[in-house]
Amino acid sequence: MGSVKEVEIIKKAEIKSEGEGEFIFSDRYSVFDWGEMPDHIEKKGPALCMLSSYFFALLEKNGIKTHFIGLNEGGVLKPFSKTKSPSNRMRVKVVRVLKPAYDKDGNKYDYSVYKKGKLANYLIPLEVIYRNKLTESSSVFKRIKDGSADFKSLGLQHEPVINEVLKNPVVDVSTKLEHTDRYLTWDEAQKISGLDDKNIKKLKELVLKINKIITTACKKAKIENIDGKFEFGMDAQGDIMVVDVLGTPDECRFLFDGFHISKEFARRWYRKTEWFTEIEKAKKMGGSDWKSLVKVQPPPLPAEIKKLISQMYLSVTNELTGKRVFDSPPLKKVIKELKKYDT
């Protein structure tokens, strides 16, 4: 169970066979690592479920393997194109999650489980990120500044500048199964994942191909696809497939007329509250137990803002899929109303 979705296992994954499960997308959301917030964003769960299902269908159409099986509409599994009403339940293939052993004293992870012969049917322990544009908040600038990366290691031809649209997208990689995810070089990523040269190359190629599919859909809706992340698994036949969720405002950074289509608006609203001030102080003082130092609870969002954030999720799903999945105003109108509160 997470801040966005729950996973219900229907059939457990075995060494030689995939299992089945259902993602149940909720209307919950979280900001600043707090956990569940006091409000729920109405119909956000079905919006994310439907949008990701749409992109899974596009990937399959383009010959890319995924773990998507179908949308559960009233107990009947259907592809996105055959649904008559929004669903918040997605049936997927399930692979094994092989967690690396953690040495608490040395603060190190042992990934030797991925090197024991030819593995199949498992979650690849990497999160792969694409970057089409480097905005001011991009982690790339911080990493270059502190020396943990340089522009050449990121595949760039020169020192990047803020809001630069990249001629060739950056394909970045981080850990997936550690307590705090950390960025890796591709040599490190290959070493911990146990992937051979062929599959590391395929992973990078898949990221660029999927990025192009999402970007093309975004351009049709006049949305800018800034960056996003993907997860992958190895199926029972030893082939890489796309897993988890993709192409939604929670996995990608989308802009419409310079405005973030995501829970970023809620983050900005909460930054003006006493609760956020308390969080900032607590994180500086409390280490991993910082939440216990926060003495106030997050206030509810104003009703109008909550309604507009809900409409934003519904409208972006309508416009990216080209299908009126939800009864919601055009995205342009919703963003115009949200901008009135963005001061």
CA separation for the pair 314, 311 (Å, rounded): 5
One-letter amino acid of 4: V
pLDDT of residue 136: 86
pTM over 0.85: yes
pLDDT of residue 336: 95
Handedness of CA 260, 299, 289, 24 (dihedral sign): negative
- For residue 107, the Cα-to-chain-centroid distance in whole angstroms is 26
The residue among 162, 175, 73 whose CA lies nearest residue 123 is: 175
Pairing mode, strands 5-11 and 68-73: unpaired
User: For residue 75, with 0-12 CB atoms within 10 Å meaning exposed, 13-18 middle and 19 or more buried, which class applies?
Assistant: exposed
CA separation for the pair 323, 316 (Å, rounded): 11
What average pLDDT does the structure give for the chain?
A: 93
pLDDT of residue 58: 97
| Calculated CA dihedral for residues 32, 35, 37, 41, nearest 10 degrees | 90
pLDDT of residue 343: 67
Residue numbers of the chain with a pLDDT score lower than 70 = 1-3, 117, 286, 343
pLDDT digits (tens, 9 = 90+) for 260-275: 998 888 999 999 999 9
Task: Tell me the Ramachandran region of residue 244: left when phi exceeds 0, alpha when psi lies from -120 to 50, beta otherwise.
Answer: left
* DSSP state at residue 180: S
Q: In this structure, what CATH number is given to the domain that contains residue 161?
A: 3.30.470.20
pLDDT digits (tens, 9 = 90+) for 101-129: 998 877 799 999 998 767 899 999 999 99
Domain extent for 161: 5-339
pLDDT of residue 3: 59
pLDDT of residue 2: 58
Count how many domains the chain has.
1
Q: Which two tokens stand for residue 55?
A: 């992109």
